[in-house]
């Protein structure tokens, strides 16, 4: 993982953002931006066009699923991953239908994030 | 050695004929299908299609020929009519010529008569009257002569006409001179002239005209003769063509009649075969029911005996062994039926990979040798070297055939020996395996019958020895699929000899071996039940049947790995995503969500660890489908323990598997953890306040956040405790809520104390 991936993290809790950042930076990613709510996340996605977006579901203004739905209407080359405490199958299915490329359940291990990055890598090549 | 080639060829030819006459075209039911040989069936169908095609060709060609002949007939008739019409008009024209010649003769004759009359009349007025008539005849002559000249274009006629015209003009001038003499009253001179000149000239003219008339008559006759001849030819032609057409029609009629007759015969034959098949089906069902009931009786009986009475352990062990043996027997039965139906459906795949005859035979020996020795039989494998060390074939199927032959030999032999002989026949590049026994043997009819599905030597055999009669059918079909053949010679009371000959296409020059050298042990089964792999890690099992859950728990826990069980695909997705499993065992058919959908969803969500599909469905298409959605391997139920452990060992990298441990932040993250811990009292304060105010929303939110963060920061206890609170808060259940909030407070306090220390 020599390439630096440009990553956007959207979570309303600062601790969670910090933790995810601390988890993925050693794995070869640069966290370009962080968003506290769905609206901000969407704005940042459009303006900075990151490679990977980690989205929490439970966020103010717009949920992670809302953001996915909005992204689907735009032609973006972004790899969206849901990071959520809700692991019910309905949530997973909805996220996948809305175009999520990965689903990480909180609490997560570094390994899970690693797997997601591997998937991203294999789809890029 | 090659002599038996020839005799076997004969035997083979015979049974193919039987198959062709037997093979029906109609598939009555699944069971009927069994009695047919798909290969000969196809051959027969092709044959029949060809026949139908050729008969329709014969009929259509025949009818076109008849049509052609009819067209010829009509052509000939029209031609004849046209030709005859032409000839008739010719005749009419000739007839006109003849009448013109007649008119000319009449006119010349009359003129002469009028001249004589003038010469004999005394009254000049009478003479003048006759003179007018005389002149009139001249006009008649000229008109007829002109008509003759106009009418006939033929050269001959023209020539004759010119001759006659010359004579006529000569005669006419002499007559005119005589008339002049008469009108001048010189009667005597006129008489003299008439006698001397007019009469000879008249004779000339008359004979010329007679000539012309004769010629015309001859021509007319010729024309009529031509018509007759023409008619004659046409008559023969029409007769011949008509006869040929009628003959052809008759031939076709006979052909169609015969063809219909054979078709009817064939339909009757097919009907007979269908009835036969139906009988075979009934026999099969009866036999099968017996075959299935026998092991089931043992299984149920011994299970109940274990449950019911307090038996000692040795007894129990024996019962369980019996149950296992019968279960395996049932499984073999079902596999045989599946094999037959696969062969019939043309779905059986034969591989072509490196095959080591010695290791195949070693495996066969390890499986059936014990059976033979248990029965007190001498069992051995005789090698006649040199034989090829490796060749391209399907080792699994080869083993299946040999085990089948050996099991049969052992079954039907009470004392003596069962011997496998293997040798290579250079003259036709055949590798031959023979299995000979000293058993009950059978007569000639029986050796021909046994290769058909559900047939045994006779029904008493079934009663005495059991069996479905499928083994040899499968073996023969497999042998044929492997470009080989399976045949049998036997003598009642003296034993049987089955020989399998595999035609090897490749060049084997390098691979011959000249002595026994045990090949590599087949790597496909490095484990047996006593050799359980040592594993460590977490395995998730998604399986709805409690019995199978229990069974797999026993299998997995023997390896040292830990097992989590869920009941359906949905739970498998939830667990698979929220916890770290090193491997998922996924049943294919489950309620709520099946294994395929669950695997698809897991793979889409970024789950990359191995997923092993468990299924009772052994079809290749199912496996392919499973592979497509991201399943790594496939284990067929009922589970073959060796294969199961082999797959587990392949996909769990042993002890290296990461334990299910929450993310433990490294030193660089200590700061974050500290911050999280520092924030904890405030969050707990919020939750406690909300609890007293019964503010569900805040309890739910805070517990949700803590649930997500706890484990992530290295405190799984917080996640577990928060989850309990969160579930109740979301559903607004007060019962037990307080306890869980207190428990969460305790956990947080513990962490705070540890942190302070």
User: Tens of pLDDT along B283-300?
Assistant: 777 777 777 887 888 888
Q: Nearest 5°: phi and psi at B620?
A: -60, -35
pLDDT digits (tens, 9 = 90+) for B70-119: 999 999 889 888 988 888 888 888 788 788 888 888 888 888 888 888 88
Give the model's pLDDT for residue A112: 85
pLDDT, position B453: 61
- B678 lies within 8 A of chain A by CB: no
Instruction: Determine the average pLDDT of the residues in B208-227.
Output: 84
> Which pLDDT does position B597 carry in this prediction?
92
Test mutation, B606, B706, B720, chain A, max A CBs within 10 A = B606
pLDDT value, residue B3: 40
Question: Which of B93-102, B296-305, B445-454 is least confident?
Answer: B445-454
* B615 sits in which H/E element: strand B611-615
Q: Which residues contact B421 (CB under 8 A, 6 or more apart)?
A: B381, B382, B384, B432, B433, B434, B435, B436
B129 band by pLDDT with thresholds 50, 70 and 90: confident
ipTM of the complex: 0.83
Query: Is residue B37's pLDDT more than 70?
Result: no
pLDDT at B521 over 50: no
Nearest-neighbour CA in chain A from B695: distance (Å): 18
| Highest mean pLDDT pick, A109-118, B261-270, B335-344, B386-395 | B261-270
Please choose, from the candidates B359, B414, B365, the residue with its C-alpha nearest in 3D space to the C-alpha of residue B388: B359
Compute the count of residue pairs across chains A and B with CB atoms less than 8 Å apart. 104
Report the predicted TM-score, pTM, of the whole model to 2 decimal places.
0.47
Rounded percentage of chain B residues whose pLDDT exceeds 90: 11
Tell which of A20, A52, A85, A90 to mutate to test the B interface (max B CBs under 10 Å): A85
pLDDT of residue B600: 93
Pairing between β-strand A52-55 and β-strand B378-384 as defined by DSSP bridges: unpaired
Q: Look at the alpha carbons of B27, B33, B39, B40 in this order and tell me if their dihedral is positive or negative.
A: negative
For residues B298 and B322, the answer to whether their CB atoms sit within 8 Å is yes
Higher pLDDT: B1 or A10? It is A10
Query: What is the model's pLDDT at position B7?
Result: 39
Q: Which residue has the tokens 């299946």?
A: B400
* Whether pLDDT at A48 is above 50: yes
For B496, the token pair is: 């049987």
A18, A81, A85 ranked by CB distance to B708: nearest: A85
Beta carbons of A110 and B663 less than 8 Å apart: yes
Q: B481, B498, B621: which is closest to B38 by C-alpha?
A: B481
Check residue B327 and give its pLDDT. Answer: 87
pLDDT at position B230: 83
Q: What is the pLDDT of residue A69?
A: 92
Confidence of residue B612 (pLDDT cuts 50, 70, 90): very high
Does B158 or A56 have the greater pLDDT score?
A56
Q: Which residue of A has its CA nearest to B663?
A: A109
pLDDT computed for residue B460 by the predictor: 57
Report the gap between the CA of A115 and the closest CA in chain B (Å). 6
Confidence of residue A10 (pLDDT cuts 50, 70, 90): very high
pLDDT at position B727 is 86
Please check whether residue A27 touches B, CB under 8 A: no
pLDDT for res B347 = 73
Residue B511 has pLDDT above 90, yes or no: no
Task: Tell me the pLDDT band of B601, cut-offs 50, 70 and 90.
Answer: very high
Q: What's the confidence (pLDDT) of residue B10?
A: 37
At B24, the pLDDT band (50, 70, 90 cuts) reads: very low
B685: distance to nearest CA of chain A, Å?
A: 17
Furthest-apart CA pair in chain A: how many Å?
A: 36
Least confident of A118-122, B4-8, B491-495: B4-8
Say yes or no: B705 contacts chain A, CB-CB below 8 A: yes
What is the mean pLDDT of the segment spanning B364-390?
A: 85
pLDDT in tens, B42-79: 555 556 666 667 778 888 888 888 899 999 999 988 98
pLDDT of residue B17: 31
* Cβ-based burial of B183 (10 A; exposed 0-12, middle 13-18, buried ≥19): middle
Spell out which residues of chain B touch residue A96, defining contact as CB-CB under 8 Å.
601, 604-605
Q: Tell me the helices (H) and strands (E) count for chain B, helix number first.
A: 22, 14
Q: Tell me what pLDDT residue B692 has.
A: 86
- Cα–Cα dist B469/B465, whole Å: 11
pLDDT score recorded for residue B87: 83
**Longest Cα separation, chain B:** 195
Residues of A in contact with B713 (CB under 8 A): 15, 19, 107
Q: How far is CA A16 from CA B627, B702, B707, in A?
A: 37, 13, 11
- Which tens digit of pLDDT belongs to each residue from B524-536? 443 344 567 888 8
């Amino acid at each position: 993982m020599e390439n630096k991936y440009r990553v956007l993290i959207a979570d309303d809790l600062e601790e969670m953002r910090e933790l995810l950042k601390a988890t993925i930076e050693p794995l070869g990613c640069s966290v370009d931006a962080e968003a506290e709510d769905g609206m901000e996340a969407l704005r940042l996605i459009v303006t900075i066009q990151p490679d990977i977006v980690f989205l929490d579901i439970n966020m103010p203004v717009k949920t992670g699923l809302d953001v996915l739905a909005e992204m689907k209407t735009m032609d973006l080359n972004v790899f969206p991953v849901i990071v959520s405490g809700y692991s019910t199958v309905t949530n997973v299915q909805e996220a996948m239908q809305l175009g999520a490329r990965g689903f990480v359940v909180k609490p997560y291990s570094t390994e899970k994030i690693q797997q997601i990055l591997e998937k991203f890598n294999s789809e890029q090549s | 050695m090659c002599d038996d080639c020839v005799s076997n060829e004969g035997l083979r030819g015979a049974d193919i004929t039987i198959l062709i006459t037997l093979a029906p075209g109609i598939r009555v039911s699944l069971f009927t299908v069994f009695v047919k040989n798909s290969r000969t069936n196809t051959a027969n169908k092709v044959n029949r299609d060809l026949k139908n095609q050729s008969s329709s060709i014969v009929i259509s060609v025949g009818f076109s020929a008849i049509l052609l002949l009819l067209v010829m007939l009509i052509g000939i008739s029209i031609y004849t009519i046209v030709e005859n019409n032409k000839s008739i008009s010719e005749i009419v024209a000739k007839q006109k010529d003849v009448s013109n010649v007649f008119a000319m003769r009449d006119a010349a004759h009359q003129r002469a008569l009028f001249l004589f009359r003038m010469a004999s009349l005394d009254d000049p007025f009478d003479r003048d009257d006759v003179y007018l008539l005389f002149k009139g005849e001249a006009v008649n002559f000229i008109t007829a002569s002109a008509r003759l000249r106009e009418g006939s274009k033929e050269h001959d006629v023209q020539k004759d006409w010119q001759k006659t015209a010359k004579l006529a003009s000569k005669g006419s001038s002499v007559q005119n001179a005589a008339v002049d003499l008469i009108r001048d009253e010189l009667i005597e001179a006129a008489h003299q002239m008439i006698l001397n000149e007019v009469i000879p000239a008249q004779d000339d003219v008359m004979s010329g005209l007679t000539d012309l008339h004769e010629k015309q008559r001859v021509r007319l006759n010729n024309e009529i003769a031509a018509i007759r001849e023409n008619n004659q030819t046409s008559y023969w032609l029409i007769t011949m063509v008509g006869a040929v057409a009628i003959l052809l029609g008759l031939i076709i009629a006979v052909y169609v009649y015969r063809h219909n007759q054979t078709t009817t015969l064939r339909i009757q034959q097919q009907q007979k075969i269908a009835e036969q098949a139906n009988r075979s089906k009934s026999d099969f069902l009866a036999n099968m029911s017996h075959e299935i009931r026998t092991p089931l009786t043992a299984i149920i009986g011994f299970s109940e005996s274990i449950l019911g009475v307090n038996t000692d352990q040795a007894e129990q062990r024996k019962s369980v062994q019996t149950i296992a043996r019968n279960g395996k027997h049932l499984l073999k039965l079902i596999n045989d039926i599946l094999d037959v139906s696969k062969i019939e459906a043309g779905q059986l795949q034969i591989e072509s990979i490196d095959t080591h005859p010695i290791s195949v035979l070693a495996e066969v020996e390890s499986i059936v040798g014990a059976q033979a020795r248990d029965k007190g039989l001498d069992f051995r494998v005789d090698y006649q070297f040199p034989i090829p060390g490796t060749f391209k074939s399907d080792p699994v199927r080869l083993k299946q055939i040999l085990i089948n032959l050996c099991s049969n030999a052992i079954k039907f032999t009470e004392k003596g020996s069962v011997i496998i002989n293997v040798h290579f026949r250079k003259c036709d590049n055949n590798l031959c395996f023979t299995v000979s026994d000293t058993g009950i043997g059978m007569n000639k009819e029986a050796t021909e019958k046994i290769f058909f599905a559900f047939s045994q030597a006779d029904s008493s055999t079934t009663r005495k020895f059991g069996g479905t009669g499928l083994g040899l059918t499968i073996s023969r079909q497999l042998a044929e699929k492997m470009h080989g053949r399976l045949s049998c010679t036997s003598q009642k009371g003296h034993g049987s000899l089955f020989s399998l000959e595999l035609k090897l296409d490749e060049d084997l020059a390098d691979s011959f071996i000249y002595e026994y050298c045990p090949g590599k042990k087949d790597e496909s089964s490095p484990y047996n039940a006593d050799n359980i792999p040592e594993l460590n890690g977490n395995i998730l099992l998604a399986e709805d049947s409690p019995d199978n859950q229990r069974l797999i728990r026993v299998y997995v826990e023997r390896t040292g790995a830990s097992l989590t069980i869920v009941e359906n695909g949905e739970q498998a997705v939830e667990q698979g995503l929220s916890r770290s499993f090193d491997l998922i065992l996924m049943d294919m058919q489950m309620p709520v969500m099946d294994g395929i959908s669950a695997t698809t969803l897991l793979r889409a969500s970024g789950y990359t660890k191995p997923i092993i599909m468990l299924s009772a469905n052994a079809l290749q298409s199912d496996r392919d489908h499973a592979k497509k959605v991201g399943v790594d391997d496939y284990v067929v139920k009922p589970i073959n323990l060796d294969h199961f452990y082999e797959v587990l060992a392949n996909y769990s990298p042993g002890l290296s598997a990461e334990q299910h441990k929450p993310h433990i932040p490294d030193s660089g993250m200590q700061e974050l953890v500290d911050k999280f811990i520092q924030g904890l009292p405030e969050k707990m304060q919020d939750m406690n306040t909300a609890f007293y105010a019964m503010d569900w929303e805040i309890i739910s939110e805070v517990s949700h956040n803590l649930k997500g963060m706890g484990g992530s920061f290295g405190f799984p206890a917080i996640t577990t405790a928060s989850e309990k609170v969160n579930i109740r808060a979301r559903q607004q259940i007060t019962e037990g809520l307080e306890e869980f909030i207190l428990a969460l407070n305790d956990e947080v306090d513990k962490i705070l104390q540890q942190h302070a220390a």
